[in-house]
Structures are given as structure tokens and as C-alpha cells.
């Protein structure tokens, strides 16, 4: 009679490596399907849409409270002109370039603070632009939108 050893139920190194490789391949496919960069870009764009609407709503609330008078807004189109960029609220209340909408944040009546674009690194500008057409319609836009999105609101 031959003496055979009974299997103990352990896994061989090859079996473990095959399982790890299969899990790695599946994880890679899931990460590519989720596309984190696209998801993050869409999140930042959603933040920009909310901020553009918030700024425009504050401007019109100010207008309602002041008998139809708008804050000082340049006439033209909402473009990447430094004079059209909404300033960040500063501690001194000064705005060296761009559109000073600090009347909206004074005493936090219309805005607690001016929204700032998620990717802006400017020291003075918020990353949002504003302009008034010849017939008084106000446009606020976010030119830094990602994934070829156009974020602009006019009223």
C-alpha cells in the first residue's frame, strides 16, 4: 500500500496571483468607467451654475430694493475682459480692477460673501464676469467652465 497525504485545503501561489490579477483588472475597468476627472469637473460646473444664479439673484434683489436701480455694471457682453470680472470681497472694501459688487455683501443683506470660482487663483477677481446690455438685461457668466460647458445666465 502506498501512503498518500490528504490535501489540507490551502491555495497555491499561482492561484492567489491569478485572483489578485483578476481583481486588479476589474478594479481598473471600474475606475475607467467612473472617470473621476469627469465627475470632479461636473461637480465644479454645478458649483459654477449655482454661483452664477446666486450673483444674478442678488443683483436683482438689490434692484428691487432700490427702485429698479442696478449696481454699477459695465455695458457690453459677458466676456473675459478684466473690467467685467466681479471682484472678490476684500477686508478693506476696495476693488482695484473689475466690477465692485460689494453693495451686495454689505451687512450680508443680499450675499454673505461673493462666490469664487473653484479653480480661480486670482488675488482680486472671483472668476465670474458680469455685463449689462444696452436695454438693461444683466448677464453673469463663468468662462472657466470645464468640459466645453457654457455657463451663463441672463435676465
pTM of the model: 0.79
Q: Which residue has the cell 455683501?
A: 105
- Residue 116 C-alpha cell reads as 469664487
Handedness of CA 54, 57, 59, 65 (dihedral sign): negative
The secondary structure element, H or E, covering residue 87 is strand 85-87
User: Which tens digit of pLDDT belongs to each residue from 123-149?
Assistant: 778 999 999 999 999 999 999 999 999
Residues 6+ apart with CB under 8 A from 54: 111, 115
Q: Where are the domains of the chain?
A: 34-154
pLDDT, tens digit, for every residue of 3-50?
A: 655 566 788 999 999 999 999 999 988 888 888 889 899 999 999 999
Residue 98: name the closest of 74, 76, 116 by CA: 74
Amino acid at each position: 500500500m502506498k501512503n498518500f497525504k490528504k490535501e489540507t485545503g490551502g491555495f497555491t501561489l499561482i492561484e492567489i496571483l491569478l485572483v489578485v490579477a483578476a481583481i486588479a483588472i476589474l478594479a481598473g475597468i471600474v475606475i475607467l468607467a467612473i472617470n473621476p476627472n469627469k465627475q470632479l469637473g461636473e461637480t465644479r460646473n454645478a458649483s459654477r451654475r449655482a454661483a452664477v444664479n446666486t450673483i444674478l439673484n442678488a443683483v436683482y434683489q438689490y434692484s428691487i430694493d432700490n427702485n429698479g436701480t442696478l449696481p454699477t455694471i459695465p455695458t457690453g457682453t459677458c466676456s473675459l475682459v478684466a473690467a467685467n470680472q466681479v471682484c472678490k470681497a476684500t477686508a478693506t472694501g476696495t476693488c482695484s480692477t473689475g466690477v465692485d459688487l460689494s453693495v451686495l455683501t454689505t451687512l450680508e443683506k443680499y450675499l454673505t460673501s461673493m462666490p469664487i470660482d473653484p479653480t480661480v487663483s486670482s488675488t482680486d477677481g472671483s472668476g465670474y464676469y458680469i455685463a449689462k446690455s444696452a436695454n438693461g438685461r444683466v448677464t453673469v457668466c463663468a468662462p472657466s467652465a470645464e468640459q466645453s460647458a457654457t455657463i451663463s445666465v441672463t435676465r
